[in-house]
């Protein structure tokens, strides 16, 4: 497993993580997040570290949440190697030690992890959460012993909820939370608030106890801003 001395998160709003690999250590990551590796780091695809049947099942589960069937593993052939990953959006990268019961993540929050971490499917506890949440019915569940690097759009806020404590937030702001946290979708209350309040028809309610990770800039909002900014008026032809 990775120790704190094995990695370093660099940058401010456009972050990357540098991971130093000894011969006994390896990491999983989306190959699309790779920046560079040292010459002695090799890259191969795998179904994971468990038994064959479980690895095949995990592969199918990953495709359901929009990930690749295979995992990409980075390891060092000789001596200490270096590999760097970055997020595709402006935001933060934070290391999270996976708790015993696992971690529930928005499906695009995973960046890279110890090779001991398993990526599985986690269904929302209530049908309403799946039908009306902007991130869809399926979330990721990360299990295993080790460190996962979670990425966000904007800044990440970590909030520890007490027993029965409730927070309400935009569905696109959810990054990750402990399995002990109850997740549901609630109607905003009235049509006027939904139309003019700028929050849509529904918001997420998270009920403690447990840790919650929140991003300040939902990717959907960033996409809309970029799209609206790209709509320049067409130049008139002189012909």
3-state SS, 162-185, equals CCCCEEEECHHHEEEECCCCEEEE
Q: What span, in angstroms and rounded, lies between the C-alpha atoms of 75 and 127?
A: 41
Could you report the per-residue pLDDT of 162-218, keeping only the tens digit for each? Answer: 999 999 988 889 999 999 999 988 877 666 666 666 566 778 899 999 999 999 987
> 169-199 burial by CB neighbour count: b if 16+ within 10 A, else e?
bbbbbbbbbbbebbbbbeebeeeeebeeeee
- At residue 187, the pLDDT reads 75
Q: What span, in angstroms and rounded, lies between the C-alpha atoms of 217 and 155?
A: 7
| Both tokens assigned to 230 | 């790209």
- This prediction has a pTM of 0.81
Please say if the pLDDT value at position 40 is more than 60: yes
What structural domains does the chain harbor?
Answer: 4-216 (3.60.160.10)
Band (pLDDT 50/70/90 cuts) for residue 23 is confident
């Amino acid at each position: 497993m990775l120790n704190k001395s094995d990695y370093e998160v660099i940058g401010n709003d456009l972050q990357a993580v540098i991971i130093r690999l000894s011969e006994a250590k390896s990491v999983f990551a989306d190959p699309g997040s790779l920046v560079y590796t040292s010459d002695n780091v090799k890259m191969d695809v795998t179904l994971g570290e468990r038994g064959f049947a479980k690895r095949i099942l995990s592969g199918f589960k990953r495709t359901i949440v929009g990930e690749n069937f295979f995992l990409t593993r980075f390891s060092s052939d000789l001596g200490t190697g270096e590999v760097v990953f970055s997020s595709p959006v402006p935001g933060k990268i934070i290391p999270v030690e996976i708790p015993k019961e696992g971690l529930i993540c928005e499906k695009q929050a995973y960046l890279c992890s110890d090779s001991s971490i398993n990526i599985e499917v986690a269904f929302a506890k209530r049908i309403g959460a799946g039908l009306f949440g902007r991130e869809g019915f399926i979330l990721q569940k990360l299990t295993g012993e080790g460190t996962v690097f979670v990425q966000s759009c904007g800044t990440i806020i970590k909030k520890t909820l007490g027993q029965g404590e409730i927070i309400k937030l935009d569905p696109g702001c959810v990054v990750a939370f402990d399995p002990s946290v109850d997740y549901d979708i609630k109607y905003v209350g009235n049509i006027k608030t939904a139309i003019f309040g700028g929050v849509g028809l529904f918001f997420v309610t998270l009920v403690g106890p447990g840790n919650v990770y929140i991003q300040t800039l939902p990717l959907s909002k960033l996409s809309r801003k970029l799209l609206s900014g790209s709509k320049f008026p067409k130049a008139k032809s002189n012909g």
